[in-house]
């Protein structure tokens, strides 16, 4: 459960400020020339723009910000609003609009900067049937960073990436509205903000979308940009990092005993020259921090829009930051439960913040509405097929009607392919069942919202058999969450003691020879694991124009039309055992 603001937040005197001044205590507004900057940080929203059980939602965040901005306006201070990345991917409406929904809301909320996270790359190229029109797409040479660039171009605030490198040039990427750092004005102060991503973040997204990119270590990138910002006249410098930590107590910001002391963001703070950076807003770990490390206050507040982080910086004009007050993570609640700090799901006491009640900001809803209307129209488009029965992902742990549908669609999308290997059900890929009735784009998208693409491998019969055996062994070890579905072949499995042996045969029952050369249609995800054994794999550049898996499924369904029953997709079975399936359990 996210902790609210009821925990004590203490001012932390800074031993190494930019101006070299030390103070034991500092209070906002207590001296002429001092100003309070409230730095608010969000992170890992993952497209969750709406409230869930009385918690979160961008409109409600807007209500908290309205109260805080009023408080700072009253004392001559200011609020800076920052996001530490992984902002768009996962929420269905955000996914369909490729982040445009969130960007419009963030524009209305008044964000000052966003750090690019690893999942900002998940959308790849702008979709052929993108809900949002954009000039960032180029049909001749699809740009696997096209959706990210379109989101950045739509934003009225910069996307920051100081350690994201173009491997061909060795230089920091230079895309429209994407830069290493930015300099903003707040309450008459010049605030520098440097953005970085976790060192190995590019390994945690779709590989095809980040070909030709690399990341450097955080510390040299931060130091380089922070010094540059100081030379440009920055009164203080903040780091906005899609890299994080984890702490579990927030009563004393100097007590790190509940924290992961080896966390990446803690290591960064300890390696920076004293006084160069005044505060860090962190993310990526989906945990929380409200602590001082090596003289630098660090804040982070969970994920999915449940809470926000805050640190108040007391700045003396001409001398820099003299004290910092990191706050415990603030739960975003419509109402407070009887315990006095958690969100109420029903009833409760209306939430208040900075001495005033909190109400959702209707302007944020209005900002999102045009994109929401486009998304809803897209979801309602019919695919021309009616499902007589629901299509489940994995009803018995072996054969998946829905998985077989996707495998058939993948096979049909590659002319001349001999077979297809798709994905399994449940957590192995397909996220929901398809309900019975007239099928529209929306439910199909909900089944598989990812931007994985269809790729083609050339493999021998023995290599296909080895790859499937490896997948079966992996799935059995994981509790059979969904063995891969196949099309164009059948798989016969037998038990030999604790071992499973498989044989692949054509639909006619004729075994596939171990030396036969086969054209295999599959997903880029499966290809990364099986491609090491293949005779030939597609060049990375070919992925840019490869069809999306979910679009292959939509095209297959539209071409087929008519009525479809779950039994049509599992008769005859594609995975067979002599023991009626017991060998696969």
Please tell me the distance from the alpha carbon of residue 572 to that of residue 181, in angstroms, as a whole number.
59
Q: Is 302 left (phi over 0), alpha (psi -120 to 50) or beta?
A: left
Give the pLDDT band of residue 19 (cuts 50, 70, 90). very low
Q: Whole-prediction pTM value?
A: 0.88
Taking CA atoms, 92 is separated from 99, 101, 140, in Å, by 10, 10, 28
Strands 419-421 and 562-564: unpaired
Average pLDDT over every residue of 358-387 = 97
- Claim to verify: residue 392 and residue 483 sit in the same structural domain: yes
- Least confident range of 32-46, 235-249, 497-511: 497-511
- Please provide the average confidence, as pLDDT, over all residues in the chain: 89
- Claim to verify: residue 267 and residue 415 sit in the same structural domain: no
Q: Are 385 and 436 in contact, with CB atoms under 8 Å apart?
A: no
- Residue 221's pLDDT is 98
- Residue 493's pLDDT is 83
- Claim to verify: residue 404 and residue 323 sit in the same structural domain: no
Which residue in 490, 468, 380, 483 sits closest to 430, CA to CA? 483
Give the pLDDT band of residue 393 (cuts 50, 70, 90). confident
Q: Could you tell me if residue 400 is inside a domain?
A: yes
- Residue 190's pLDDT is 98
- CATH code where residue 202 lies: 3.60.21.10
Please tell me the distance from the alpha carbon of residue 534 to that of residue 114, in angstroms, as a whole number.
40
- Claim to verify: residue 415 and residue 358 sit in the same structural domain: no
Q: Give the pLDDT confidence of 208-267 residue by residue, as tens digits.
A: 899 999 999 999 999 999 999 999 999 999 999 999 999 999 999 999 999 999 999 999
- Claim to verify: residue 362 and residue 429 sit in the same structural domain: no
| pLDDT at residue 16 greater than cutoff 60 | no
- Claim to verify: residue 323 and residue 410 sit in the same structural domain: no
- Least confident range of 128-132, 178-182, 193-197: 128-132
Q: Could you tell me if residue 6 is inside a domain?
A: no
| pLDDT at residue 168 greater than cutoff 90 | yes
- Residue 356's pLDDT is 97
Highest mean pLDDT out of 171-180, 340-349, 521-530:
171-180
Strands 78-83 and 171-172: unpaired
Give the SS3 label for residue 519: strand
- Residue 454's pLDDT is 94
**What length does the chain have?**
585
Q: Could you tell me if residue 204 is inside a domain?
A: yes
- Residue 483's pLDDT is 78
User: Which residue is listed with tokens 């997903």?
Assistant: 523
| pLDDT at residue 480 greater than cutoff 60 | no
Highest mean pLDDT out of 2-11, 338-347, 471-480:
338-347
| pLDDT at residue 32 greater than cutoff 80 | no
Listed residues 343, 375, 407: the one ending a domain: 375
- Residue 450's pLDDT is 86
Listed residues 337, 352, 375: the one ending a domain: 375
Q: Give the pLDDT confidence of 109-152 residue by residue, as tens digits.
A: 999 999 999 999 999 988 765 676 554 444 456 899 999 999 99
| pLDDT at residue 420 greater than cutoff 90 | yes
Q: Which two tokens stand for residue 265?
A: 């963001």
Listed residues 375, 406, 425: the one ending a domain: 375
Q: Which two tokens stand for residue 85?
A: 């990345």
Does residue 390 or residue 451 have the better pLDDT? 390
Q: Are 94 and 422 in contact, with CB atoms under 8 Å apart?
A: no
Taking CA atoms, 58 is separated from 62, 108, 285, in Å, by 6, 10, 21
- Residue 366's pLDDT is 98
- Claim to verify: residue 39 and residue 111 sit in the same structural domain: yes
Does residue 477 or residue 533 have the better pLDDT? 533
Q: Could you tell me if residue 476 is inside a domain?
A: yes
Q: Could you tell me if residue 4 is inside a domain?
A: no
Q: Could you tell me if residue 238 is inside a domain?
A: yes
- Residue 7's pLDDT is 39
- Residue 479's pLDDT is 59
Q: Could you tell me if residue 5 is inside a domain?
A: no
The domain in which residue 580 lies consists of 382-584
| pLDDT at residue 24 greater than cutoff 50 | no
- Claim to verify: residue 388 and residue 362 sit in the same structural domain: no
Helical residues (DSSP H) of 216-290, grouped into ranges? 218-231, 264-271
Q: Give the pLDDT confidence of 302-322 residue by residue, as tens digits.
A: 999 999 999 999 999 999 999
- Residue 397's pLDDT is 59
Q: How many CB atoms lie within 10 A of CB 208?
A: 24
Average pLDDT over every residue of 7-29 = 42
Please tell me the distance from the alpha carbon of residue 421 to that of residue 464, in angstroms, as a whole number.
9
Q: Are 234 and 191 in contact, with CB atoms under 8 Å apart?
A: yes
- Claim to verify: residue 129 and residue 72 sit in the same structural domain: yes
Q: Which two tokens stand for residue 134?
A: 């954009």
Q: Could you tell me if residue 2 is inside a domain?
A: no
- Claim to verify: residue 400 and residue 307 sit in the same structural domain: no
Counting the structural domains of the chain, the total is 2
- CATH code where residue 406 lies: 3.90.780.10
Q: Which two tokens stand for residue 193?
A: 């903000």
- Claim to verify: residue 228 and residue 120 sit in the same structural domain: yes
- Claim to verify: residue 140 and residue 24 sit in the same structural domain: yes
């Amino acid at each position: 459960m996210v902790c609210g603001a009821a925990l004590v937040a203490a001012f932390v005197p800074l031993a190494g400020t930019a101006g070299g001044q030390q103070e034991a205590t500092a209070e906002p507004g207590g001296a002429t020339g001092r100003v309070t900057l409230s730095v608010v940080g969000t992170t890992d929203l993952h497209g969750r723009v709406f409230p869930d059980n009385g918690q979160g939602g961008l409109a409600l965040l807007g209500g908290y910000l309205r109260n805080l901005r009023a408080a700072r306006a009253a004392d001559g201070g200011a609020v800076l609003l920052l996001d530490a990345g992984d902002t768009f991917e996962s929420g269905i409406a955000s996914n369909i609009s490729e982040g445009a929904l969130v960007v419009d809301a963030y524009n209305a909320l008044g964000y000052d900067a966003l750090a690019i996270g690893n999942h900002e790359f998940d959308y790849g190229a702008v979709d052929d049937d993108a809900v949002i029109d954009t000039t960032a797409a180029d049909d001749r040479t699809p740009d696997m960073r096209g959706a990210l660039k379109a989101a950045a171009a739509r934003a009225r605030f910069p996307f920051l990436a100081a350690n994201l490198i173009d491997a061909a040039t060795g230089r920091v990427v230079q895309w429209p509205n994407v830069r290493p750092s930015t300099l903003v004005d707040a309450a008459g102060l010049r605030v520098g903000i440097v953005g970085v991503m976790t060192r190995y973040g590019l390994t945690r997204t779709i590989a095809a979308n980040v070909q030709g990119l690399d990341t450097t270590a955080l510390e040299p990138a931060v130091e380089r940009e922070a010094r540059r910002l100081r030379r440009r006249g920055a009164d203080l410098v903040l780091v906005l990092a899609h890299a994080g930590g984890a702490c579990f107590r927030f009563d004393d910001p100097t007590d790190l005993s509940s924290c992961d002391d080896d966390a990446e963001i803690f290591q960064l703070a300890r390696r920076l020259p004293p006084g160069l950076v005044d505060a860090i807003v962190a993310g990526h770990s989906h945990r929380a921090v409200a602590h001082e490390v090596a003289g630098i206050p660090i804040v982070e507040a969970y994920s999915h829009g449940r809470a926000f982080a805050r640190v108040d910086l007391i700045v003396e004009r001409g001398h820099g930051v003299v004290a910092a007050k990191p706050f415990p993570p603030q739960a975003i609640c419509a109402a407070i439960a009887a315990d006095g700090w958690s969100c109420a799901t029903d009833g409760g006491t209306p939430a208040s913040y900075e001495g005033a009640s909190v109400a959702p900001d209707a302007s944020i809803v209005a900002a999102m509405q045009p994109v929401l209307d486009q998304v809803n129209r897209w979801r309602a488009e019919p695919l021309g097929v009616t499902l007589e029965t629901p299509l489940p992902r994995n009803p018995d742990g072996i054969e998946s009607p829905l998985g077989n549908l996707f495998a058939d669609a993948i096979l049909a999308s590659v002319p001349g392919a001999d077979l297809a290997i798709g994905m399994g059900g449940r957590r192995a890929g397909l996220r929901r069942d398809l309900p019975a009735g007239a099928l529209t784009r929306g439910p199909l998208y909900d089944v598989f919202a990812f931007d994985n693409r269809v790729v083609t491998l050339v493999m021998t019969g023995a290599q296909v058999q080895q790859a499937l055996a490896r997948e079966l062994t992996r799935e059995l070890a994981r509790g059979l969450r969904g063995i891969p579905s196949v099309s164009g072949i059948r798989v016969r499995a037998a038990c030999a003691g604790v071992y499973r042996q498989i044989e692949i045969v054509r639909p006619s029952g004729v075994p596939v020879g171990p030396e036969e050369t086969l054209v295999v249609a599959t997903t880029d995800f499966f290809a990364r694991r099986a491609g090491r054994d293949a005779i030939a794999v597609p060049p990375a550049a070919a992925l840019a124009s490869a069809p999306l898996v979910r679009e292959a499924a939509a095209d297959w369904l539209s071409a087929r039309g008519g009525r479809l029953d779950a039994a049509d997709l599992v008769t005859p079975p594609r995975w067979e055992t002599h023991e009626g399936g017991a060998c696969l359990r």
